[in-house]
Structure 1
Amino acid sequence: MTAALQMQGVRKSFGPTEIIRGIDLEIPTGERHAIIGPNGAGKSTLFHLISGKYSKTAGRILLNGTEVTELQPYQINRMGLSRSFQITNIFPRLSVFENVRCGLLWSMGYRNSFWRLVDTERALNERAAQILDEIGLLERCDLPAGVLAYAEQRALEIGITIAGGAEVIMLDEPTAGMSHSETEGVVELIRRVTQGRTLVMVEHDMGVVFNLADRISVLVYGEIIATGTPEEVRASKAVQEAYLGAVDAGEGEAH
C-alpha cells in the first residue's frame, strides 16, 4: 500500500537540545495511526515538523511520495494534509456556518475576489451545511462559534479540518479535557469523518487510542521505541516500562 506519510531520519534541535532524534516512520494510506508517549517526548514537535510549522534539522518528510520538508504550512495543506491543534483554533466571532465555509473556500476554487458574494454561492453553502450535519452542528449553524460548548468547538475544528478535502488528517489531542460521554461522541465523529482517509493522531487517553488506531507508534525522548498494532504495543515490555506502566488501566489516562 502506498505510504501517505514517510519520515526518514527526521531530527529537530533547538540550539544544543535535540528534541527529535532520528525518526523513521511510514504510515500507509488509509491507516489510523496514533502517536503516544509521555509528556515532553516530542509528539507536538513532530506534528509541527510534518505540517511545516517547524523546519527540520535533518532528514526528509514525504507526503504521498512527494517531499514536503522545505514547504510552508499552506503549501503542505494544499497538497492534501490538514491538522488540528491542542488548543482549539476557530474563529470565535464568526458563526459556526461561516467557520466551516472558510475552510471550504480554497478547495472549492474560490480565490481572492471582491466581486463575488459567498452568501450567494449555492454549491459552497450546501457543502458547508453537509459538513455541519456530518459533525452534528447543523442546528447550531447560526451561533457565534465562541459560544459553543468545549466539545462542540472541538467538533467544529474537526469539521474545519476536513472541509478542505485533505486526505491526511492530523489531530493533536482531540479529546483532551472532555468528559467520558463527550469523548465517546468525539471518537465516533473521528471514526466517521476519517473513513477512507489517513488519520495521524496524538492522544493521551489510552481508551481512545486503542479504540481508534490501526497501529500505534510510541515516542520516548524523541525516539520511536515501538510501532505496531494495539495488541503488539500493549504487550511490549519496552513500552510498558517506558510509558504504559504509568497508565492506569482502569482509567485509560496517562499520569
Structure 2
Amino acid sequence: MTAAIELKGLRKSFGPTEIIRGVDLTIGEGERHAIIGPNGAGKSTLFHLISGRYSVSGGTVSLHGENISNLPPYEIYRKGLSRSFQVTNIFPNMSVFENVRCGLMWVRDYKYSFWHLVDRQKELNARAMEVIEEIGLTSRRNIPAGVLTYAEQRALEIGIAAAGGADVIMLDEPTAGMSHSETDQAIELIRKITVGKTLVMVEHDMGVVFDLADRISVLVYGEIIASDTPENIRNSKAVQEAYLGAEAEE
C-alpha cells in the first residue's frame, strides 16, 4: 500500500498533559478512512496536527512520503492536503461564488491580492462555477453564504475543501447537526467529490462511518486501539467496550 498520510510516534502535549500518545497510522492513497472515538479522545487534536494547525510535540507526519511536521497550514494545503472544520468556516457576507473563488485563489497563490483583477480570470471563475455545480448550489451562487441553510453551508465548506484539487481531503464532523435526509445528501456529496482522492474524516454518526469508510481507526485517550475494516471494527469486543457499545450490537 502506498501511503498518502503516515504518522509515526506522533505526540502532542499541552503543558504536562499529553493528548496524543505515540500514534502510528498509515492511510493509503485513495482510501476512505474514518477516525472515531469517544469525546475527549483527541480526534480533533490529531486532525490539527496533520493539517498544521498545531505543532507536533514528538514524532512525524508525512504526506506522500514527505515530512510535513510543523509546516504552516497554507504550505501543507499547497502540497495537496485540504480540510474542513467541525464548526462551519466560511465568509458569511460573501456570496457562495466568492467563497469558492477565494479557496481557489489561495491554491493558485493569488492570496486575496485583488489587483489580479479576479473577475477577468476566466479559468479561475469557470472552475469556481464547476465546484458550485458539483455541490448543488448553482441556484444559490450569488447569495451571501450566511443565509444558506446549515446543510448548504456544510456543503459549501466541503466544496471549498475540495476546490483546489487537493488529493487528500480531511473532513471534521461533516454531517454534525444534520437531519437524516440532509445526512444522506451529504454522504452522496462526499462520495462524489472524493472519487480518486484520499478521504480522512472524523465522524460521530456510525451510520455515516460504516457507509463511507474503507477502514476505521479507533482513538481512545490519545492512542489508536484498533485500525481495520468496518466489519472487523464492528465485531471487535475491544472497540465495543471502548466506544461503540450498544450501537455496535444494533
Please confirm whether the aligned pair reaches a TM-score higher than 0.5, indicating the same fold: yes
One-letter code aligned to 1:207: G
> How far apart, in 2, do the equivalents of 1:112 and 1:86 lie?
24
- Cα drift, residue 218 of structure 1: 0.3
**Does structure 1 conserve the Cα–Cα contact (< 8 Å) formed by 2:102 and 2:112?**
no
Instruction: Find the counterpart in structure 2 of residue 164 from structure 1.
Output: 164
Q: How does 1:214-225 map to 2 (within 5 A)?
A: 214-225=214-225
Q: Which has the higher helix share?
A: 2
> How far apart, in 1, do the equivalents of 2:112 and 2:173 lie?
33
Tell me how large the CA RMSD over aligned residues is: 1.3
Question: Where does structure 1 differ by over 6 angstroms across 4 or more consecutive aligned residues?
Answer: none
- Cα drift, residue 16 of structure 1: 1.1
Instruction: Find the counterpart in structure 1 of residue 130 from structure 2.
Output: 130
**CA, structure 1 residues 81+244, in 2 after alignment: closer, same or farther (shift >3 Å)?**
same
**Does structure 1 conserve the Cα–Cα contact (< 8 Å) formed by 2:21 and 2:222?**
yes
- Cα drift, residue 113 of structure 1: 4.8
**CA, structure 1 residues 142+249, in 2 after alignment: closer, same or farther (shift >3 Å)?**
farther
How many residues were matched structurally? 250
Instruction: Find the counterpart in structure 1 of residue 235 from structure 2.
Output: 235
> How far apart, in 1, do the equivalents of 2:109 and 2:34 lie?
32
Instruction: Find the counterpart in structure 2 of residue 49 from structure 1.
Output: 49
> How far apart, in 2, do the equivalents of 1:17 and 1:110 lie?
40
Instruction: Find the counterpart in structure 2 of residue 19 from structure 1.
Output: 19
> How far apart, in 1, do the equivalents of 2:68 and 2:126 lie?
33
Instruction: Find the counterpart in structure 1 of residue 38 from structure 2.
Output: 38
One-letter code aligned to 1:137: L
CA deviations 1:167-189 (Å, max 9, x no partner) are 10000000000000000000000
> How far apart, in 1, do the equivalents of 2:66 and 2:241 lie?
37
SS at match of 1:98: helix
> How far apart, in 1, do the equivalents of 2:81 and 2:249 lie?
33
One-letter code aligned to 2:167: E
One-letter code aligned to 1:224: I
Instruction: Find the counterpart in structure 2 of residue 151 from structure 1.
Output: 151
**Does structure 1 conserve the Cα–Cα contact (< 8 Å) formed by 2:55 and 2:70?**
yes
CA deviations 1:26-84 (Å, max 9, x no partner) are 00000000000000000000000000111111101100000000211111111110000
Instruction: Find the counterpart in structure 2 of residue 61 from structure 1.
Output: 61
SS at match of 1:11: strand
**CA, structure 1 residues 5+95, in 2 after alignment: closer, same or farther (shift >3 Å)?**
same
- Cα drift, residue 112 of structure 1: 6.5
Q: What TM-score, normalized to structure 1?
A: 0.95
- Cα drift, residue 136 of structure 1: 0.2
Q: What TM-score, normalized to structure 2?
A: 0.97
CA deviations 1:234-255 (Å, max 9, x no partner) are 01110011011153765xxxxx
Instruction: Find the counterpart in structure 2 of residue 110 from structure 1.
Output: 110
Instruction: Find the counterpart in structure 2 of residue 121 from structure 1.
Output: 121
**Does structure 2 conserve the Cα–Cα contact (< 8 Å) formed by 1:7 and 1:61?**
yes
> How far apart, in 2, do the equivalents of 1:74 and 1:111 lie?
10
**CA, structure 1 residues 109+13, in 2 after alignment: closer, same or farther (shift >3 Å)?**
closer
> How far apart, in 2, do the equivalents of 1:25 and 1:176 lie?
25
SS at match of 1:196: coil
Please say which of residues 130-139 and 107-116 is displaced more in the overlay.
107-116
SS at match of 1:243: helix
**Does structure 1 conserve the Cα–Cα contact (< 8 Å) formed by 2:83 and 2:161?**
yes
Gaps of 5+ in 2: none
One-letter code aligned to 2:44: S
